Structure 1
Amino acid sequence: MSAGLHLFSHVLVLFLAFCVHAGAEDGRRVYVVYMGAGHPAASPGSLEQQHLQLLASVVSKTRADKALVRSYRYGFSGFAAKLSKEEALAVSKKPGVVSVFADPVLQLHTTRSWDFLRQSSVETDSRPASEDGAPVAGGTADTIIGLLDTGIWPESESFNDRGMGEIPAQWKGKCEEAQDFKPSNCNRKLIGARSYDGPTAEPAASVSVQSPRDTIGHGTHTASTAAGSPVSGASYYGLAAGVAKGGSTSSRLAMYKVCGPFGCAGSKILAGFDDAIGDGVDVLSLSLGASSLQIPDFATDPIAIGSFHAVTKGITVVCSAGNSGPNSGTVVNGAPWILTVAATTIDRNFESDVVLGGANTSAIKGEAINFSNLSKSAIYPLISGQSAESKTKSKEYSARFCDPYVLDADKVKGKIVLCDHPQRAIVPRKAKIGALRSFGAAGMIMIDDEDKAVASNYLSFPATVVSAQGGAEIFSYINSTENPVATILPSITVNKYNPAPMKLMEVLLLVGNPQPDVAAPGVNILAAWPPLNDSSSVPPGKNPTSFNLISGTSMSCPHVSGVAAAIKSWNPTWSPSAIRSAIMTTATHKNNAQGALTLDSGEPATPYDYGAGEVSPMAALRPGLVYETDTEDYLLFLCNYGYNTTTIKRISSSLPDVFECPRNASAAAISDLNYPSIAVSGFEGEGSRTVNRALTNVGEEEEETVYLPSVESPAELTVKVTPERLQFTKNSKKVAYQVAFSAAAASSSLDGDFFGSITWSNGKYKVRTPFVVSSYRRRAASIRIIRGA
């Protein structure tokens, strides 16, 4: 497991361990009371008074003042309060309340990555990129990226402000002062930093001094990936050396510290959204989310709530899709107003090879990060896990997996041990490593086809991961000689690896519905890190690093946030939906070997894995056409999703009084949301299903341009696009079209998922819209539609 993913597991375990303690001694805990948009004319002070009055109608006035934790006043109305279960139920029945829910704790979910994206990008114009490959946010607007995360390490060189102009006039935020954080820590790059404290679902012992400073590393890493200033000579102890930079190096950064060692409290997330809206950010980046085991409904999901109101204020919200694959339905942050990002590999490997003794001295490729000090000559005794079995403890198959409780320490000492690691291993890799190290093993070779694309970090312990084929070669050598020997070489950086990008089959795979919108680099990403003196993460004899390599959709999310900020800089009047459309319709579905995107197993990947494809930063600056959606479109989506008119009117203050959900609202109508991808479910192959879309011309052609469609479709489907051409003029910039899906004559009965795309082109721009048609019989029992019906 990568360092980043281990952090997420650690957070979850700690939360579960302390959740019993999370409630206060008097039986009360923090609840979030969501009251929709609030009245647009209300002042922040009057909203807080309304919240106190509502509380006082359930508890005493004295208790109301003490119970109120925080009030949300800028982007939406609501508050967090310390209540009993009975009091929370009473509040939920009050007029104007949309929902009341217990404060949840959500989980935390670069040198070469931007160069790789630049190389794989389909360039449609001559707009500039930086010398190092990232898109330049050098347009007419000065953009601000806000991050809701673990805080920031302001002294990092990635946040220097050399060459940057004055702070944008739109900025209304602040740089908070704390014991270890001063307003002077902010500058023209890091223009704001806030943190949130007070009673939450976290145990009292976990609440640290309120400060924006990052002592975990996650927020520093994501912030520098999104908009870090270029830093020459960056590396992780010599690995991945190069220029570290963000995607939008000219953008400003604002950090909202909503996460701590025990996770990210929902009440703090909403506070971060509320302040970010009032502060004037352009893009919000959230590398966190709910557990895929219990995905909340929109009305009780802090991220869905906060992002909805941010988007209605013109802020693009980008979120990570989670790391909970490979089971279906594991994507989180799937609301259609959020740009949801999956993670892929880049063209860089960290190779740690195995050299065998005897006549065959060729190296067997391994993947890992280790700073092995073993001799480069194969002089260390090599055994398999079976050979180290303790005869008094267990069976051979567990010894083959190197499960610690069945190994004989005396048989392991001084040897390199070959271990098999099955896909559903009961004992995690880290536990096996710890046991072998404590037993005095010289090193470990792990066979793991599933996780080999993520280079796990073993620091100074000589360990590497090989494929099943490589493992078979090593087994064969062990069985062919009386005294097998080997060595494990320290890691080296291998660039221009292909094929890339790939979706990971196990650790980061996101399948089923809903699907992510787009994919971006998220594996072994180098970015800024707090130089904390933690002996468990620093190789012997080394100083703490200022950069770190970690993996997860947490790392892919800020890549897209940086692209979104660059688009906003070039096109300051574009809406969040136009920015999302530009990113999705220009995404590439090819790898650097010009083949279709695959999983790391070599199997074909689908839109369930990567959405519209891998983000293409340069092409996204000039998409030609965009799909636009507004607030009313999203509210009609909620009608079709099942919300009633009364609730929806509370959510939005911009609706006319005459607004009513359509009488024929249904899940099937969700497919007509004007989205850059098309999803149709419940399709049995009888008759046809028609989906409506509309495209807006944002290209340079002001007088007239014509786009023609091309369709890629599986043989089982007939796909008809009407009209056969889209003609845009100076007075007709938005044109609608329809797509009719029906079964091919030879396939009247369909069962499964069918993928394809529709690409509109005028010879200069290509606007690609992927589609998924899913049969009712296969998915009706479990599908939860968000992207389409």
Structure 2
Amino acid sequence: METPSSYHRRLAPLLLLLCFCTLQVEVHASRKKLYVAYLGERKHGHPDHVVASHHETLSSVLESKQDILDSIIYSYKHGFSGFAAMLTKEQAQQLADLPEVISVQPSRRYQTTTTRSWDFLGLGLNDKVPSDLLHRSRYGEDTIIGIIDTGIWPESRSFSDDGYEPVPSRWKGVCQVGVGWDRSNCSRKIIGARFYHAGVAEEELKSDYLSARDANGHGTHTASTAAGSVVEAASFHGLASGTARGGAPRARIAVYKSVWGSGRGAGSGNTATVLAAIDDAIHDGVDVLSLSLVVEENSFGALHAVQKGITVVYAAGNSGPMPQVVRNTAPWVITVAASKIDRSFPTVITLGNKKQIVGQSLYYEGRNSSGRTFRLLANGGLCTDDALNGTDVRGQIVLCVAFQVPPLALFPLALKNVLDAGASGLIFAQYSMDALDAEADCKGIPCVLVDFNMANQIGNYMGAASSPVAKIEPARSVTGEEVVAPKIAAFSSRGPSIDYPEVIKPDIAAPGASILAAKGDSYALLSGTSMATPHVAGAVALLKALHPNWSPAAVKSAIMTTASITDARSMPILAQGLPRKIADPFDYGGGNINPNKAAEPGLIYDIDPSDYDKFFGCTFKKFIQCNATMLPGYHLNLPSIAIPDLKHPITVSRTVTNVGEVITPVEVTRGLHVWQPYLAQ
């Protein structure tokens, strides 16, 4: 009888031969890659006819019908025409040379996530395995985030309360009814709603709901970013498609509508409405307050909230990149700068001479304009009403140029003007491609952002062509290593603080550029420190769920001392602007937020809430010996040190509290931010 070992020895040559043949087949097959061919608009009515046209196109590069069937993976036959096929590099090039083919590109691997920012920050739900912090905090279960903003749209899928337990018994808030809002609009997710309209301009109220319902969309967007429930298949007209959710998806939401107006932006409110909201929030029992708005400095309402154990998170403002424009800089609040994540929306412009230029936009297919070629017209300026007056732009793509810095709000204005004038598209040029933020909805017409260099190339073509034309393709979503991130957005307000020069501000940076979140019944991509603020609020909710006894100062310290100051390539984080530079604490405070590391900071710089009165009591109190009794602000136990007028040696001390494992003395100063250029002034 043959033994197993002798049988294997006899079979070995055959096994080797089989392995060799398989290897050869794999090597040959590896020459083929998946490519996507785009053919523009459908040229056939029935989907079957579109598929047949794809097969006919492929027959130009493949030999047989069977080869075509084996190669083609997908046929795009409803909204546009195109296909995905396994091809060699040579076949892909042959295909691209065909006149009916617009482009052929390798298929790239993208992560199918919308609130991409949370995955970028390490709080992922990929493969149903949550991050350590999400798991340990139970997704922020039963923490309560108060949103002081423009209200909320309760029917959004982001506020579903499926599977939620009853409202926490400690909640003392109310569900205030009003126009378009009854008690059924509150739920186990939206557990409370209030609105404040006294003193608000009548014209703002006329365009809004006299209730907690959000006509603006700003509050809905921020609330869903902080604590939105998990929503599958969300996108902005197909862009950034995937799963949308908040940072603390199981947290409860309390709505305090203090800002009014249905127009673009955050509307208008006043100090009285915001203070009333903070006051009620303290009473109601929120754990975190998120305010994506700029209010007057020296807000005592926020101080009282902090002294009651509520962490208050504010936006730094959108006036960057100039220095000394940061807002909401009280030392007891967390002031948030905006960073960019590893996602972009490249958009291809094809000129009449076949030259292609890649800009950025949120252009999605609509109005039968996708793939169409239009005449080009140079406006020579910002496309203002006056500049367009008397110019026939109908059926043309208008080139506009913004020389102002920063041009954040100019692109949407130019888009509105050319739309009103009847133009068919917009190319908007600004100073730096690095600072492009695809924030404006193109409203279904071709529109794209380019830099001055690209605009110059377009201008040269227009000067040489007797009848210049261009075609703008819909944007696509790109994520991952192709996009260097994080970066500090150009619009993000920079320090130092004018009101509190003894405090380095902002405190932290968080994703705030092209953030997808709920707006009405759908989803929108918005940019601003307003979008960055709820990212920090959501992370705070997770930390509060994990460490319920941490003070607001402890939470703030943990976030600041564990933040990242390098990007995905382990290079220093850059700050966008003119010129671009390496970011410093006046751009991002402690750095870009890292929620998972903040959960275990090891050491914290804690502050007794009453200590704020010892250092900043003059802010709110008027008495004769104020200056004599108040201590310099740089002695406050913050995780940073700033001395604005250093003329002689000063000793500054800090006290650390160990909230982790046993540490060594060398770790004591870990995370303490001392900004030397500022100290040397």
After TM superposition, the score normalised by the length of structure 1 is 0.64
Q: Distance in 2 between matches of 1:400 and 1:139?
A: 49
* Shift in Å, 1:205: 7.3
Tell me whether 275-284 or 369-378 shows the greater mean CA deviation: 369-378
Contact 1:380–1:442 (8 Å) recurs in 2 = yes
Counterparts of 2:369 and 2:211, CA distance in 1: 46
Judge which range, 410-419 or 175-184, deviates more. Answer: 410-419
Q: 3-state DSSP class of the match of 1:352?
A: strand
Q: Secondary structure at the match of 1:475?
A: helix
For residues 338-377 of structure 1, the aligned pairs below 5 Å read: 338-358=333-353, 360-371=354-365
The aligned amino acid for 1:678 is I
Instruction: State the Cα distance separating 1:334 from its structure 2 match.
Output: 0.9
- Indicate if the aligned counterparts of 1:282 and 1:314 stay in contact, CA closer than 8 A: yes
Aligned to 2:121: 117
1:266-277 to structure 2, matched below 5 A, reads 266-277=271-282
Paired with 2:215 and 2:422, the residues of 1 have a C-alpha distance of 32
Aligned length: 548
User: Is this contact kept in 1: 2:346–2:358, CA < 8 A?
Assistant: no
User: Which amino acid is 1:436 matched to?
Assistant: V
Shift, 1:582, TM fit: 0.8
For the Cα contact (< 8 Å) 1:334–1:340, is it kept in 2? Answer: yes
Which residue number in structure 2 is paired with residue 492 of structure 1? 476
CA distance in 1, matches of 2:360, 2:141: 46
| Other-structure match for 1:233 | 233
Moved more, 475-484 or 576-585: 475-484
Distance 2:318 2:429 in 1: 22
Instruction: Check 1:200–1:473 CA distance in 2 against 1; reply closer, same or farther (3 A cut).
Output: same
Conservation of the 8 A alpha-carbon contact between 1:683 and 1:774: no
Give the counterpart of 1:457 among 432, 441, 455: 441
* Superposition deviation, residue 272 in structure 1: 1.4
Aligned counterpart, 1:245: 245
Partner deviation per Cα, 1:146-190 (whole Å, 9 max, x = no partner)? 111111111111111222223222111122233422222222221
Separation of aligned partners in 1, 2:428 and 2:204: 38
1:674 Cα offset (Å): 0.5
Alignment of 1:446 onto 2:425: no
Max Rg structure = 2
Query: 2:634 aligned to 654, 671, 676, which one?
Result: 671
Give the alignment partner of residue 607 of structure 1, picking from 573, 585, 590.
585
Query: 1:706 and 1:776 mapped to 2: Cα distance?
Result: 28
Equivalent residue of 2:593, what SS? coil
Unaligned runs of 5+ residues in structure 1 are: 1-109, 122-127, 299-303, 386-398, 532-545, 648-659, 710-725, 727-758, 761-767, 779-789
- The reply to whether residue 698 of structure 1 matches residue 659 of structure 2 is yes
TM-score, normalised to structure 2's length?
Answer: 0.74
2:675 paired residue among 772, 776, 780: 772
Kept after mapping to 2: 8 A contact 1:228/1:247: yes
Which one of the candidate residues 264, 268, 274 is aligned to 2:269? 264
Offset from partner CA, 1:554-586 (integer Å, 9 cap, x none): 111111001001001011111111111111111
Please, which of 526, 530, 542 is the counterpart of residue 520 of structure 2? 530
Q: Which has the higher strand share?
A: 1
Are the counterparts in 2 of residues 142 and 251 from structure 1 also a CA contact under 8 Å?
A: yes
Aligned position for 1:618:
596
Q: Tell me the alpha carbon deviations over residues 254-275 of structure 1, each in whole angstroms, 9 at most, x when there is no partner.
A: 1111221151232222221122
CA deviation profile, 1:115-149 (whole Å, cap 9, x unmatched): 1111899xxxxxx9737996763189731111111
Query: Structure 1 residues 694, 141: CA separation in 2 closer, same or farther (over 3 Å shift)?
Result: farther
| Contact kept? 2:376, 2:397, Cα under 8 Å | yes
Cα 1:665–1:309 change in 2 (3 A) is closer
Residues 118 and 134 in structure 1, CA contact (< 8 A), matched pair in contact too:
no
Q: Does 1:503 align with 2:488?
A: yes
Q: Cα RMSD over matched residues?
A: 3.1
1:202 paired residue number: 201
Q: Does 1:591 align with 2:554?
A: no
Matching of residue 156 in structure 1 with residue 156 in structure 2: yes
Offset, 1:547: 1.2
1:192 maps to a residue whose letter is G
Question: Aligned partners of 2:629, 2:300: CA distance in 1, in Å?
Answer: 26
Deviation at 1:202, TM superposition (A): 2.5
Cα separation, 2, equivalents of 1:288 and 1:465? 27
Alpha-carbon spacing, 1:133–1:511, altered in 2? closer, same or farther (3 Å):
same
**Match in the other structure for 2:45:** none
Amino acid across the alignment from 2:247: G
AA matched with 1:203: E
Stretches of structure 2 lacking an aligned partner (at least 5 in a row): 1-113, 262-266, 499-504
Residues in 2 aligned to 1:350 and 1:285: alpha-carbon distance in whole angstroms: 28
The alpha-carbon deviation at position 402 of structure 1 amounts to 4.0
Amino acid at match of 2:119: D
Encode CA deviations 1:518-537: one digit per residue, 9 max, x unaligned.
01111111111113xxxxxx
Larger mean Cα displacement after TM superposition, 240-249 or 183-192 = 183-192
CA contact (8 A) 1:150 1:260 kept: yes
Distance 2:468 2:651 in 1: 66
Aligned residue identity for 2:308: K
Please tell me the residue identity of whatever aligns with 1:173: G
Tell me how far 1:642 sits from its aligned partner.
6.5
Q: Return the letter of the residue paired with 2:545.
A: S
1:289–1:333 CA contact under 8 A, matched in 2:
yes
SS of residue matched to 1:692: coil
Superposed counterparts of 1:327-338, under 5 Å: 327-338=322-333
Specify the code of the residue in structure 1 equivalent to 2:236.
Answer: Y
Q: What does 1:735-746 align with in structure 2 at a 5 Å threshold?
A: none
User: Structure 1 pair 135/219, CA: closer, same or farther in 2 (3 Å)?
Assistant: farther
Q: 1:411 to 1:189 in 2, by over 3 A?
A: closer
Comparing 213-222 and 410-419, the one that deviates more? 410-419
**How far, CA to CA, are the matches of 1:466 and 1:494 in structure 2?**
17
How far apart, CA to CA, are the structure 2 residues paired with 1:220 and 1:525? Answer: 13
- Give the letter for the 1:769 counterpart: L
CA distance 1:217–1:437, change in 2 (3 Å): closer
Q: Which letter does structure 2 place at the counterpart of 1:693?
A: R
User: C-alpha displacement at 1:592, in angstroms?
Assistant: 1.9
CA distance in 2, matches of 1:413, 1:178: 44
Name the CA distance, whole Å, in 2 between partners of 1:175 and 1:136.
31
| Cα pair 1:113 1:521 within 8 Å, conserved | yes
Alignment CA distance shift 1:409-1:434 (3 Å): farther
Q: Percent identity?
A: 39
Residue 468 of structure 1: how far off its partner (Å)? 1.9
**Other structure's SS at 1:274 match:** helix
Q: CA, structure 1 residues 594+220, in 2 after alignment: closer, same or farther (shift >3 Å)?
A: same
Q: How far apart are the structure 1 equivalents of 2:204 and 2:402?
A: 37
Deviation at 1:697? Answer: 0.3
Corresponding residue number in structure 2 for 1:582: 558
Where in structure 2 are the equivalents of 1:146-185 lying within 5 Å? 146-185=146-185
Query: C-alpha deviations, 1:393-438, integer Å up to 9, x for none?
Result: xxxxxx3444443457556343323222112599944443344334
SS at 1:365 equivalent: strand
Alpha-carbon contact 2:494-2:586 (below 8 Å) kept: yes
Cα 1:132–1:445 shift into 2, 3 Å: farther
> Structure 2: how far apart are the matches of 1:162 and 1:693?
46
Q: 1:379 to 1:549 in 2, by over 3 A?
A: closer
Residue identity in the other structure for 1:579: V
Q: Pairwise mapping of residues 470-481 of structure 1 onto structure 2 (< 5 A)?
A: 470-481=454-465
Offset of residue 364 of structure 1: 2.9
Alpha-carbon distance in structure 2 between the residues aligned to 1:322 and 1:424: 16
Spell out, residue by residue over 1:463-520, the C-alpha distance to the aligned partner (whole angstroms, 9 max, x if none): 1111222222222323344443221111211112421121122x33424326210011
SS of the residue aligned with 2:652? strand
Aligned to 2:188: 188
Counterpart CA distance in 1 for 2:371 and 2:132 is: 38
After superposing the two structures, state which structure 1 stretch, 481-490 or 312-321, moved more.
Answer: 481-490
